[in-house]
Amino acid sequence: MSFADALAALYTPETARAIEAADEAAVLRALERRAPDEADLAALLAPAAAPHLEAMARRAHETTVRHFGRTIQLFTPLYLSNYCTNGCVYCGFNTGNRIPRAQLTPEQALAEGRAIAATGLRQLLLLTGEAPARAGTDYIAACARLLRPLFPSLGVEVHALAEADYRALTRAGVDAMTMFQETYDRELYATLHPRGPKRDFAWRLGAPERACRAGMRVVNVGALLGLAPWRLEVFATALHARHLQRRHPGVDIAISLPRMRPHAGAWQPAHPLTDSELVQAMTALRLFLPQAGITLSTREAPALRDNLVPLGVTRMSAGVSTAVGGHTGGDPGSGQFEISDPRGVDAVCAALRQRGYQPVFKDWEPLEHAHTARRAS
Amino acid sequence: MTPVTEHDDILELGGARLHSRLFIGTGKFGDDALIPAVCAASGAQVITMALRRVDLDAGPANLMAHIPAHMVRLPNTSGARNADEAVRIARLARAMGCGDWIKIEVVSDSRHLLPDGYATARATETLAREGFVVLPYMNPDLYVARSLADAGAAAVMPLGAPIGTNRGLRTREMIAILVEELDLPVIVDAGIGKPSQACEAMEMGAAACLVNTAIATAGDPVAMGRAFGQAVAAGRAAFLAGPGAERRRASASSPLTGFLGEAGAGAGGAVPGEAQP
């Protein structure tokens, strides 16, 4: 069964009601389960679980430390282009927003990469808006080829591509792919994406699977929290991740929990999450998917980010600019969203160390570099 | 057979003569700067590190900078999803100056992190031919173990429980069979959560134990490293001492045949003796 079919069966008012109706006994049962199933996940996301947040957090912490240790991987995004043909109502890159538009040449991208690498970061996430005529696969691949020697791990967060395009990117040295479905609610999705190629819900939904088939090592999924009621969104995200894990056991499936932030334009999220709800979502995901990476972005404020670290996070961004050209101080285009944690890499590392966590910069050795390997001193 | 005493009990592996039978790891520490103290406290002489985490450009932050010079470096192929990737990572490790030892990990299951025995055997064959000291991580399966031995492995490293679970010797019976059947050292790797479990593995006749998660994620990794060093040594000493056979219940020495050989056999009842160990 494709995930689209599975989603049609699970993203229903009945599932939403089942989550709402899960009682305390179901929550306590779920907390004791070694391998929580779908019903347990529903209970962990239920209102009835709210009083048991501390117990969930403890289990999430223990599970995360056992599998990932006291380590947090650090990465930063590099915005290559903010040209966009979509009209996503919540996004700063929305084609209707009158913002300065910019696109780095591959050489400018390399200069940005050098500035980022100088901070010690070794994992990079390349982002573009959706403007395939300007910033298509060939362009992204050209940037990746130049940046690969500086960054052992290169990810992309770009528009939904065909499998052949993902394959071309892996050949250019890209090893990770991030794709947020934004919302798993097909009808809401249509209203939030009124214009542009991104309107195709199914094409986007299938993108992570195409990336898995194309040989990406890490595939990261998520919903933009705040667009729709969060419990069902997180439920769908978890089952999407598990579907990918089962069909592609060799790929590391990771999850992001991006929470909507204010941005250029008047649109505001209809279903904002409280901090407690974000914690419930994260810990429920950790218990359901003990081995999945969980990514936390700079959308969250420093104090909250630091407090969330022990609850299941495995990967964080640091030293972030969401503006094109933002790392070399040229004439940056407008950012996609406003970040809440403006700390540089050193400050994030210091905060992690203070909590007994070690920042990890490098977590993959590009095998195509075998011939250039140097000896340890 | 001449009994081996603790003093001349050396594990010879890949040209090294090891006094300590505890192998440790470098993953999951909250601070890599703890590693030298863990090495010292545990007495371990072999340490494994994921090549994917080694960054020669990172200067003092490079993981390798924290590994004391006397340790045998055992780079591992963590992240390899097939035999080819494992082989390439091993060659990279050698080219980067990490030595000839390689722990093969081929894992293509991101949910349970269980090793792929077939791919591991293929990688072992290639790398052993290239002169590596190959220590493959494996499920404790006798057929896979024999394939690994035939392929030139220096030892086999069966898991006690799924990696990172700290669930102990869940595969005890299967590991016992490997110990019984193989001529190679059996090094229990993964799943050991407590010193008592490492001790148990050594009592069973394991040649060594590799412990990472339980040490690195302990409240005090240095103290836990010391405890594991002591437990492994104790378990080994017990094995060498020849522990008595297990009994399900206390047994009188000869309740049914004690009359034999007694003066006036049959004249009186057998006298229960002391319970045997």
- The residues facing B133 across adjacent strands are B101
Rounded to whole angstroms, the Cα distance separating A67 from B100 reads 28
Per-residue confidence (pLDDT) for residue A307, from 0 to 100:
92
Which one is predicted more confidently, B274 or A366? Answer: A366
Q: For the residues A295-321, what does the mean pLDDT come to?
A: 90
Per-residue confidence (pLDDT) for residue A245, from 0 to 100:
94
Chain B residues closer than 8 Å to A373 by CB? 92, 95-96
Interface test with B, best of A59, A66, A219 (most B CBs within 10 A): A66
Q: For the residues A106-115, what does the mean pLDDT come to?
A: 94
Chain A residues closer than 8 Å to B48 by CB? none
Rounded to whole angstroms, the Cα distance separating B87 from B67 reads 24
Tokens found for residue B95: 């080219």
Give backbone dihedrals phi and psi of B246, rounded to 5 degrees, phi first: -80, 145
A35: pLDDT strictly greater than 60: yes
Rounded to whole angstroms, the Cα distance separating A320 from A341 reads 8
Chain B residues closer than 8 Å to A120 by CB? 58, 61
Rounded to a whole number of angstroms, the distance from the CA of B101 to the nearest CA of chain A is: 15
B7: pLDDT strictly greater than 80: no
Per-residue confidence (pLDDT) for residue B269, from 0 to 100:
46
**From A99-103, A336-340, B127-131, the region with the lowest mean pLDDT:** A336-340
Q: B239: Cβ–Cβ under 8 A, 6 or more apart, which residues?
A: B202, B203, B204, B205
Per-residue confidence (pLDDT) for residue B162, from 0 to 100:
87
The one-letter code for the residue type at A337 is F
Full-model pTM: 0.85
Q: Which of residues 134-173 of B touch A (CB under 8 A)?
A: 164-166
Q: For the residues A92-107, what does the mean pLDDT come to?
A: 84
**From A227-231, A296-300, B193-197, B251-255, the region with the lowest mean pLDDT:** B251-255
A266: pLDDT strictly greater than 80: no
A363 with B216: Cβ contact below 8 A = no
Where on the phi/psi map is residue B168: left (φ > 0), alpha (ψ -120 to 50), or beta? Answer: left
B30 with A358: Cβ contact below 8 A = yes
B110 with A249: Cβ contact below 8 A = yes
**From A36-40, A277-281, A295-299, the region with the lowest mean pLDDT:** A295-299
Query: What angle (nearest 5°) sits at the alpha carbon of residue A237, between those of residues A158 and A287?
Result: 125
B110 with A246: Cβ contact below 8 A = no
Rounded to whole angstroms, the Cα distance separating B37 from B219 reads 14
- The residues facing A183 across adjacent strands are none
A374: pLDDT strictly greater than 60: no
Per-residue confidence (pLDDT) for residue B270, from 0 to 100:
43
Q: For the residues B254-258, what does the mean pLDDT come to?
A: 67
B221: pLDDT strictly greater than 90: yes
**From A147-161, A181-195, A312-326, A335-349, the region with the lowest mean pLDDT:** A335-349
In eight-state DSSP terms, residue B115 is: B
Asked if residue A237 lies in contact with residue A228, where contact means CB atoms within 8 angstroms, the answer is no
Give backbone dihedrals phi and psi of B100, rounded to 5 degrees, phi first: -100, -5
A365 with B217: Cβ contact below 8 A = no
Rounded to a whole number of angstroms, the distance from the CA of A18 to the nearest CA of chain B is: 27
Rounded to whole angstroms, the Cα distance separating A324 from A333 reads 5
Chain B residues closer than 8 Å to A219 by CB? none
| Cα Rg of chain A (Å, integer) | 20
What separation in angstroms does the CA of B169 have from each of A177, B42, B190?
Answer: 37, 21, 9
B62: pLDDT strictly greater than 50: yes
Q: For the residues B165-186, what does the mean pLDDT come to?
A: 92
Rounded to a whole number of angstroms, the distance from the CA of A140 to the nearest CA of chain B is: 25
DSSP string, A104-155: --HHHHHHHHHHHHTTT--EEEEEE-S-TTTS-HHHHHHHHHHHTTT-SEEE
Per-residue confidence (pLDDT) for residue A333, from 0 to 100:
56
Per-residue confidence (pLDDT) for residue B268, from 0 to 100:
47
Asked if residue A170 lies in contact with residue A368, where contact means CB atoms within 8 angstroms, the answer is no
Q: A81: Cβ–Cβ under 8 A, 6 or more apart, which residues?
A: A102, A103, A104, A128, A129, A131, A134, A135, A139, A324
Per-residue confidence (pLDDT) for residue B274, from 0 to 100:
44
Rounded to whole angstroms, the Cα distance separating A155 from A299 reads 19
pLDDT band per the 50, 70, 90 thresholds, residue B186: very high
Chain B residues closer than 8 Å to A249 by CB? 108-111
Per-residue confidence (pLDDT) for residue A180, from 0 to 100:
96
Asked if residue B195 lies in contact with residue B22, where contact means CB atoms within 8 angstroms, the answer is no
Rounded to whole angstroms, the Cα distance separating A248 from A348 reads 33
DSSP string, A149-175: TT-SEEEEE-S---HHHHHHHHHTT--
**From A38-42, A228-232, A297-301, B188-192, the region with the lowest mean pLDDT:** A297-301
Q: How much is the ipTM here?
A: 0.75
Q: For the residues A161-176, what does the mean pLDDT come to?
A: 96
A373: pLDDT strictly greater than 60: no
**From A249-253, A342-346, B17-21, the region with the lowest mean pLDDT:** A342-346
Per-residue confidence (pLDDT) for residue A265, from 0 to 100:
59
pLDDT band per the 50, 70, 90 thresholds, residue B191: confident
Rounded to a whole number of angstroms, the distance from the CA of A16 to the nearest CA of chain B is: 27
A362 with B53: Cβ contact below 8 A = yes
Q: For the residues B143-150, what does the mean pLDDT come to?
A: 95
Q: For the residues B133-160, what does the mean pLDDT come to?
A: 96
Instruction: Please give the positions of B annotated as active site.
Output: 103
Asked if residue A364 lies in contact with residue B79, where contact means CB atoms within 8 angstroms, the answer is yes
Q: List, for residues A7-28, the tens digit of each pLDDT value.
A: 999 999 999 999 999 999 999 9
Of B53, B96, B217, the CB nearest to A360: B53
Q: A205: Cβ–Cβ under 8 A, 6 or more apart, which residues?
A: A3, A4, A7, A181
Q: A277: Cβ–Cβ under 8 A, 6 or more apart, which residues?
A: A230
A214: pLDDT strictly greater than 90: yes
Q: For the residues B98-108, what does the mean pLDDT come to?
A: 94
**From A1-10, B99-108, B254-263, the region with the lowest mean pLDDT:** B254-263
DSSP string, A249-275: TTSEEEEE--B----SSS---SSPPPH
B273: pLDDT strictly greater than 50: no
B29 has a chain A CB within 8 A of its CB = yes
A66 with B56: Cβ contact below 8 A = no
pLDDT band per the 50, 70, 90 thresholds, residue B276: very low
The one-letter code for the residue type at B248 is R
Q: Give start and end residues of each alpha helix (H) in chain B.
A: 35-42, 83-95, 117-129, 142-151, 172-181, 195-203, 213-216, 221-241
**From A95-109, A114-128, A255-269, B176-190, the region with the lowest mean pLDDT:** A255-269
Per-residue confidence (pLDDT) for residue A45, from 0 to 100:
98
Q: For the residues B20-38, what does the mean pLDDT come to?
A: 93
pLDDT band per the 50, 70, 90 thresholds, residue A269: confident
Is beta strand A358-360 parallel, antiparallel or unpaired with respect to A71-81? parallel
Q: B241: Cβ–Cβ under 8 A, 6 or more apart, which residues?
A: none
Per-residue confidence (pLDDT) for residue A84, from 0 to 100:
83
Q: For the residues A333-355, what does the mean pLDDT come to?
A: 82
Per-residue confidence (pLDDT) for residue A376, from 0 to 100:
46
Of B27, B64, B109, the CB nearest to A249: B109
Q: Give which of B72, B28, B26, B70 is closest to B46, Cα–Cα.
A: B72
Q: List, for residues A362-371, the tens digit of each pLDDT value.
A: 888 887 654 4
Rounded to whole angstroms, the Cα distance separating A211 from A217 reads 9
B24: pLDDT strictly greater than 70: yes
B265: pLDDT strictly greater than 60: no
Q: Determine what percent of chain A is predicted with pLDDT higher than 70.
A: 93
In whole numbers, what is the pLDDT of chain A averaged over residues?
Answer: 90
Q: For the residues B16-32, what does the mean pLDDT come to?
A: 93
- The residues facing A127 across adjacent strands are A79, A157
Asked if residue B175 lies in contact with residue B158, where contact means CB atoms within 8 angstroms, the answer is yes
* Terminal Cα distance for chain A, rounded: 52
Strand, coil or helix: B156: strand
Chain B residues closer than 8 Å to A71 by CB? 27-30
